[in-house]
Structure 1
Amino acid sequence: MLKYLFVLLSIFSIHAHAAPIRIASDIWCPYICDNQTGYVVELTRRAFEIQGQPVEFQIFPYKRALIELQRNNIDAVLALTSSAIVENQLINADVIVGYNSNDFYTLVDSNETFEQITDLNNTQQAAIVTGYHYGVELDAWFGAHPNTYFASGRDPLAMNIIRLVKGRHSVIIDNKNVIEYTASQLNLTQQLRYAGTIGKPVPLYVGFNPHNKAYAVTFTNGIEMLKANGEYQQIMSKYKILPALTSDEARHKNLQKFLPIFN
């Protein structure tokens, strides 16, 4: 009994002094938000914390997050497609944390619809986020049309929405939940219109640094533990009603900083 107690105490001591796992992503609310909120952030944090592993989150633009991971400055990047994980030679824990879709939004007075890629041929200018993958065919279309606008920075989708409202673009492409959440924080929801979706939803995963394969295993185990104790469903249920609860003043004020740029 004393031997087993010593082993348990040793394990506890190791976890208590464990260096935090460094996880990064750009802002993609309601999946990944400021102030360490968003359902993917909460699930990931709790998956590690429930096993005694501290977590440190950082907000980086998408492309920089991948660069910092390649430099071993961070250990994981949230919400990646399987193709992005393979392309960057990362470890996939094979736990789906959400789905991405290519949803198209225009201004309310537009009558454009988007159901297939050829529908883009008649639009004035499309705006996307630099570094993201929208599928082979859409990526090829964006690359072949120099008038495509690639937004970057800390909150590129917010800038695309504002530029759309200001008449700089005719359509923006991103995930429907993310567009509607960000537009609500900018008080611009009533000016946007859902114009269609091209392609099927794509699963999203957490991509781990190949030098720390054990973190992927820990994450998988943690998610199973959260499902077993009910926390997983609690977090998911909390964010299902996110639009009714999102009065995050810090997020709102941060997005308002973009507005003077376009006045």
Structure 2
Amino acid sequence: MKNLLAISLCLAATCANADVLTIRADQYCPLNCAPGSSSPGFMIDIANEIFGKAGHKVDYKLMGWQRAIAEGKAGNIHAIVGALKDDAPDFIYPANEQGRSMQCFYTLKDHPWQFDGLASLSKITLGTINGYSYGEELDAYIKAHEKDGKVQMLVANDEPLILNIRKLQGKRVDAIVEAQPVAIYTLKQQKATDTVHEAGCEKKAQDIFIAFSPKHPKSHEYAELLSKGMQDLRSSGQLSKILARYGLKDWR
């Protein structure tokens, strides 16, 4: 409704140049959730708010993560959502992030293992998602061990974390790794909090972005608009209201 109102009130010159921004990713709730729902994810709410005020519309749909990156690289879509900079280094990133999170590790509650730095990973089989970046250090560990049985890499689909939780519950892996708010949200949705718990997190938080296609001629413009819009949402208090709908607080 807010998008439609913003578009109806925009100046004729702006409306004439209105764009439909295609944003794609696998489901990564609460960052990006079910398209068309009342709660499509706080990053989608942010995008709708900022681009809607500029007279644009957001076309958000689910797509496997690796395919979304490939489509963005080819210029077939405008942006991916929920990206670390290592996910797609050649994409265009706004100066201000749209989220921030730590990578955390999750095990069955009766499993004794706790994360205590990269060296502790040698004691377990870790479940990961193909095509995801988990940060420079953990990415290097995964690459070094993806063929020796210490890492199992799930082929990404629209809802890869749910499949990884099922692998964990089936004891096919000892632990899985995921961004903390995404894991907390999904474990609750899957009613898995009775059997799965957090077993430690990396100390350094990572910025998460809506990232724009390196092939699209307006990507720098969109990134700048999004970055400035984040400042406006934060200063007006609207960002806190958006996050509160998902049980979250501003990370800054």
User: TM-score w.r.t. structure 2 length?
Assistant: 0.84
Q: Does 1:138 align with 2:142?
A: no
Which position in structure 2 is the counterpart of 1:237?
244
- The 1:149–1:56 alpha-carbon spacing in structure 2 relative to 1, beyond 3 Å, is same
Q: Secondary structure at 1:105's aligned position in 2?
A: strand
Quick one: structure 1 residues 101 and 241, their matched pair in 2 at CA, closer, same or farther if it must change by over 3 Å? closer
Amino acid at match of 2:77: I
Matched residue, 1:29: 29
Q: Which residue matches 2:19? A: 19
Aligned equivalents of 2:201 and 2:235: distance in 1?
Answer: 35
Q: Partners of 1:100 and 1:71 in 2: how far apart?
A: 28
**1:193 is paired with a residue of what secondary structure?**
strand
* Aligned equivalent of 2:161: 157
RMSD: 2.0
Q: Distance in 1 between matches of 2:197 and 2:244?
A: 26
Q: Distance in 1 between matches of 2:138 and 2:223?
A: 30
- Residues 13 and 134 (structure 1), Cα distance of their counterparts in 2 relative to 1, 3 Å cut: closer
Instruction: Give the drift of 1:199.
Output: 4.1
> Unpaired segments of 5 or more residues in structure 1?
1-7, 243-263
Q: Following TM superposition, by how much is the alpha carbon of 1:9 offset from its aligned partner in structure 2, in angstroms?
A: 4.6
Q: Percent identity?
A: 26
Corresponding residue for residue 247 of structure 1:
none
Correspondence for 1:127: 127
**CA–CA distance in 1 between the matches of 2:161 and 2:245?**
24
Equivalent of 1:64 in 43, 62, 67: 67
In structure 1, C-alpha distance between the alignment counterparts of 2:116 and 2:54, rounded to whole Å: 45
In the aligned structure 1, how far is the partner of 2:15 from the partner of 2:107? Answer: 55
Contact 1:106–1:194 under 8 Å retained in 2: yes
Give unpaired runs (5+ residues) of structure 2.
1-9
Q: Give the structure with the larger helix fraction.
A: 1
When Rg is computed on C-alpha atoms for both structures, the one with the higher figure is 1
- Residue 55 of structure 1 pairs with residue 58 of structure 2: yes
CA distance in 1, matches of 2:107, 2:100: 22
Q: Does 1:215 align with 2:222?
A: yes
In the TM superposition, residue 32 of structure 1 has moved relative to its aligned partner by 1.0
Quote how far apart the aligned CAs of 1:188 are: 1.3
